[in-house]
């Protein structure tokens, strides 16, 4: 290698080493605002002896994340209510319910030299069902606790702002009652696909 090529290689290496790593630092906060679509899995269990189907819905989602270490954050997911129609095989639509899915996660953000920053997370979800309605009688759905996992990608658009695409899976099961009688368990286990703007403080 000529002296000129060695100098170029050394310059490139120094530039790479000195380039800022787009990482979240301990003590940082981020706030995210966006929309998310909650799409339950296709087989939602059996209610009153019939196969159940729960449709999807889109709503506003919000996140707040505090970085307890460089690249490691504790995140809270909140949302405006999601509303889902409930159908039974051979019967059709029999009711609806609303729910809120607050979720607490631990996320790891991979440090990178580029504007693209992937992350993964694992956490616990609490789902509260309310305003249940049914043409068959008084429908009640129990609250649910379960695991949640996610993967996402941030694209840095400014020093403190990023556009985020993420996918979450929730373990959500709820015992259902109709006029006080147990009618089965709805296995919802949805995927949430979200798009947000995230700002770092």
Domain boundaries, the chain: 25-200
Alpha helices in 39-174 (DSSP H): none
Minimum mean pLDDT range among 4-8, 34-38, 126-130, 140-144: 4-8
Q: What integer best gives the mean pLDDT of the chain?
A: 89
Strands of 40-115 (E only): list them.
Answer: 45-47, 50-54, 57-69, 72-79, 82-88, 92-100, 103-109
The string of pLDDT tens digits covering residues 90-131 is 899 999 999 999 999 999 999 998 999 999 999 999 999 999
Q: How far apart are CA 135 and CA 95, in angstroms?
A: 6
What pLDDT is stored for residue 17 in this prediction? 38
Q: Which CATH number fits domain 25-200: 2.60.40.1730, 2.40.160.20, 1.10.4080.10, 1.20.140.10?
A: 2.40.160.20
């Amino acid at each position: 290698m000529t002296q000129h090529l060695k100098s170029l290689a050394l310059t490139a290496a120094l530039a790479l080493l000195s380039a800022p790593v787009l990482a979240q630092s301990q003590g940082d906060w981020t706030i995210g605002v966006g929309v998310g679509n909650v799409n339950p899995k296709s087989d939602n269990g059996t209610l009153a002896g019939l196969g159940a189907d729960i449709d999807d819905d889109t709503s506003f989602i919000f996140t707040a994340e505090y970085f307890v270490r460089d690249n490691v954050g504790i995140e809270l997911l909140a949302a405006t209510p999601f509303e889902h129609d409930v159908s039974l095989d051979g019967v059709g639509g029999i009711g609806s319910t609303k729910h809120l899915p607050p979720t607490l996660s631990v996320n790891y953000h991979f440090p990178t030299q580029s504007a693209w920053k992937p992350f993964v997370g694992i956490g616990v979800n609490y789902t509260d069902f309310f305003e249940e309605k049914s043409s068959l009688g008084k429908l009640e759905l129990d609250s649910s606790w379960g695991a949640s996992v996610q993967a996402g990608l941030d694209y840095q658009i400014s020093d403190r702002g990023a556009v985020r695409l993420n996918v979450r899976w929730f373990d959500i099961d709820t015992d259902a009652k109709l006029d006080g009688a147990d009618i089965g368990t709805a296995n919802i286990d949805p995927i949430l696909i979200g798009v947000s703007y995230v700002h770092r403080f």
